[in-house]
Amino acid sequence: MNSFQYSNTNKRYHTLDYYYKQKFNSKVFKVSLNANFSCPNIDGTVGYGGCIYCSKSGSGEFGGNKEEALEKQFIQVRDMMLKKWPKAKYIGYFQAHTNTYAPVAELQKMHNLILRQKDVIGLNIATRPDAISEECLNYLENLNKKTFLTIELGLQTINEKTSKLINRCHTLKCFEEMVKKLRQRNINVVVHIINGLPFETKKDMLETIKYLNKLDIQGIKIHMLSILKGTALEKMFKEKPFKILTKEEYIDIVISQLELLRPEIVIHRITGDPKVDDLIEPDWLIKKVSLINDIDKEMVKRNTYQGQKLKKYK
């Protein structure tokens, strides 16, 4: 019998589905949107070309079509979900590129457009820690009082050497300061990390988790590095191949990471979700459901759960 406190299924980690059902007493979906933002790491403000793994869609592979109006993007996904879950509620997810990288008045207009849609209960906004101005912070603080707001910050790794290699173009200090500023305003923070970055070891990946576990964050997204067509990472991999994690190695690392995380931290994602046509490596990422099931089975086999080893390293 699973005795993990944040689960009502066989899951041994704090899933987003469980979190939403406890909070809203309803099935909740995130509707991915592409508001056609740019990124300060693309246009030269802090760097050029973006992160080396970033596709042309700016990590918004399953976001809407940027050529279509936001309202149309939202309605298309919502109507599809309604067929399966007619009583579901929705969160507008501004996903592609850097979603605070625009004037506040423009952001407000976009957000209001989604918030007035039926059964929308909140917004998730994916961005960079160096792309939220003081004016934007004040706006987000007010927005947070009106709806259920979550800010998703890309970190990927705490290893500064790796960060430079992947062209993140912001420091760990910048990231940590932004987390503090958001939390001072009582805004929920979800952090993105990537396992399997070039030349990183299991120890490196666990150090990133140990660091995040000590911060006041509410959620985490764990991705596996995807080498996608047309990216700088593809070019780098072809010129100087580096080790790609096997499925078994990834499962082992993820479980070890979960064991070190505070149980109340919500796991928003436990694997990446690349488009099959764009994926070069690793091919095992294509079978997402199988991968998630294998993580569950291995956690049962090891009789472990999120936070089990927390006391051991404190």
**Residue (of 313, 242, 256, 272) closest to 55 by Cα position:** 272
Q: In whole angstroms, how large is the CA radius of gyration of the chain?
A: 19
Q: What sign has the CA pseudo-torsion 157, 45, 131, 70?
A: negative
Task: State residue 160 phi and psi, 5-degree precision.
Answer: -65, -30
DSSP 43: B
Q: What are phi and psi of 143, to 5 degrees?
A: -60, -40
pLDDT at residue number 64: 61
Residue-range domains of the chain with CATH: 16-313 (3.20.20.70)
Tokens of 212: 């995040």
What is the DSSP code string of 228-288? ETTSHHHHHHHHS--PPPPHHHHHHHHHHHHHHS-TTSEEEESS----GGGEEE-GGGG-H
CB atoms within 10 A of CB 186: 10
Closest CA to 249 of 308, 294, 312, 212: 294
Kindly state the tokens that stand for 135.
């004016």
Is the Cβ–Cβ distance between 164 and 218 less than 8 Å? no
- Per-residue confidence in pLDDT tens, the chain, 314 aa: 567 899 988 899 999 999 999 999 999 999 999 998 888 777 777 767 778 887 765 454 455 666 788 999 999 989 988 888 999 999 999 998 889 989 999 999 999 999 999 999 999 999 999 999 999 999 999 999 999 999 999 999 999 999 998 888 789 999 999 999 999 999 999 999 999 999 999 999 999 999 999 999 999 999 999 999 999 999 999 999 999 999 999 999 999 999 999 999 999 999 988 888 999 999 999 999 999 999 999 999 999 999 999 875 44
